[in-house]
Amino acid sequence: MSTDHNQRLGFGRYGKTAHGREESRQSRKTKTKRQLKEITITEAKNQLLATGEIRKVLSVIGGGKEATVLLAENTEEELVCAKVFRYFTSTIRKRLRGTIHLLEDDMAALAAKQEYWNLHEMKVNNIPVPEPILLSDNIVIMEFIAEENGSLIPAPLLREVNLSHYDPEELFYDSIDILAELFLKGYYIHGDYSEHNLMLTQKGVLLTMDVSQSVQYNTRTFIDTPFRIRIDRAIDLLETDIENINRYFRRAYRITISPNEVKEAIIKELPQKLQNFLNERTLEVYPSDMHTPETLIGKERYRDELVYQRTGTSRQQPSR
């Protein structure tokens, strides 16, 4: 439709020439630019110093897809690790697709919050993860996992270590143990479990991190709730985590274990009620799809008859 036509029909308010349209178009344009802006390392450093908790930023230890990870010294002169989440990343955007009530600006802070509280909950359950220390907007400050005590070098990732100095099979089982403990003790699925997100200290201790996407499952009901997913969905995600770590050990060390067997073994350790949920899987039907159960229909008829017997009149349907 041409603008003229619009105006003639009285659609000027909505057309190309509508009042304020150009302004909103411009603001949309600049907004997109702002959203796509990544935080530079200098900005990350400045943000960190502005928290007042950090004395000195020592080095950059990671610049992954969603955050810049820095080694710093806190006001008590201890080494700490600071993960500064970026304002916009495709991962964050993908994760929050559909949650329209969230502003893009809030996403980094949300990812940081999830990372912090997930680390906290995992630590409480004795899962080997760095201890979270502080949450401030889009920044998580946590324990620095050094290669060895006092070193400024971070512990290497599993993929960076040549396991010939260790017992690879033992480490494989350790990594599966972490997954099982996350699942059974913390009710968590890691969600990005692999050789990239496991660290190995010189003492041979394996730790996992990068848990902003981790999520807990519901232990009381068989439904998705705003903060917890349904147990059967959790099992599917658990399977992916097992497969990923299994793939690494198979490729690098020719050690493998059937992901299905591991999954079944973990399921067997779940409380009986959760196993029952899994076996039934009957609540695929949502309440609106449900038919009125026979028993309820029977109840209505029973009441109608009762009213008739007592009063000799028909029962009035309750107004809804």
Ligand X SMILES: Nc1ncnc2c1ncn2[C@@H]1O[C@H](COP(=O)(O)OP(=O)(O)OP(=O)(O)O)[C@@H](O)[C@H]1O
Name every residue whose Cβ is closer than 8 Å to that of residue 102 and which is 6 or more positions away in sequence: 96, 110
Which residue in the shown chain puts its C-beta closest to ligand X?
A: 64
- Token output for 25: 């178009």
Residue ranges in 35-94 that form contacts with ligand X under rule CB under 6 A: 61-62, 64-67, 69, 81, 83
Q: What is the contact mask toward ligand X in residues 207 to 236, using x (rule: CB under 6 A)?
A: --xx--------------------------
By beta carbon distance, the residue nearest Mg ion is 210
Contact status, residue 70 vs residue 61, Cβ threshold 8 Å:
yes
155 vs 237, beta carbon nearer ligand X:
155
Minimum distance from CB of 24 to Mg ion (Å)? 38
Determine the longest span between alpha carbons in the chain, in angstroms. Answer: 91
222: closest CA among 181, 282, 264? 282
Tell me which of Mg ion, ligand X, none is bound by residue 182, counting a contact when its beta carbon lies within the kind-specific cut-off of 5 to 8 angstroms: none
Q: Site mask, ligand X, residues 236-275, x = CB under 6 A? A: ----------------------------------------
Q: How many CB atoms lie within 10 A of CB 227?
A: 8
d(C-alpha 136, C-alpha 315), whole Å: 63
Interface residues with Mg ion (CB under 5 A)? 64, 197, 210
Chosen from ligand X, Mg ion, none, partner binding at 61 (C-beta under 5 to 8 Å by type): ligand X
Pairing of strands 215-217, 228-229: parallel
123 binds ligand X per the rule CB under 6 A: no
Decide whether 108 or 142 has the Cβ nearer to ligand X. 142
Tell me, what amino acid is at 99?
Answer: T
Contact 58, 72 (CB under 8 A): yes
Burial class of residue 315 in the structure, from the number of CB atoms within 10 Å of its CB (0-12 exposed, 13-18 middle, 19+ buried): middle
**Binding partner of 209, given Mg ion, ligand X, none, CB within 5-8 angstroms per partner class:** ligand X
- Give the CA distances from residue 82 to residues 56, 73, 92, 135, in Å, rounded to whole numbers and listed in that order: 11, 10, 19, 10
Which residue's CB is nearer to Mg ion, number 68 or number 197? 197
| 144 scored as a contact of ligand X (CB under 6 A) | yes
CA dist 303 → 5, 162, 230 (Å): 63, 76, 38
Do residues 143 and 186 make contact, with C-beta atoms less than 8 angstroms apart? no
Report, in Å, the least distance between residue 185 CB and ligand X: 21
Residue 144 binds which of Mg ion, ligand X, none (CB < 5-8 A, kind-dependent): ligand X
Among 82, 121, 127, 154, binds ligand X (CB under 6 A): 154
If the CB atoms of residues 197 and 246 are measured against Mg ion, the closer one turns out to be 197
Sheet containing 54-63: order of strands: 54-63, 67-74, 79-85, 139-143, 132-136
CB of 142 to ligand X, least distance (A): 5
Count of residues that interact with ligand X, criterion CB under 6 A: 20
Nearer to Mg ion, 133 or 199 (CB): 199
The contact set with ligand X (CB under 6 A) reads 61-62, 64-67, 69, 81, 83, 130, 142-145, 154, 157, 196-197, 209-210
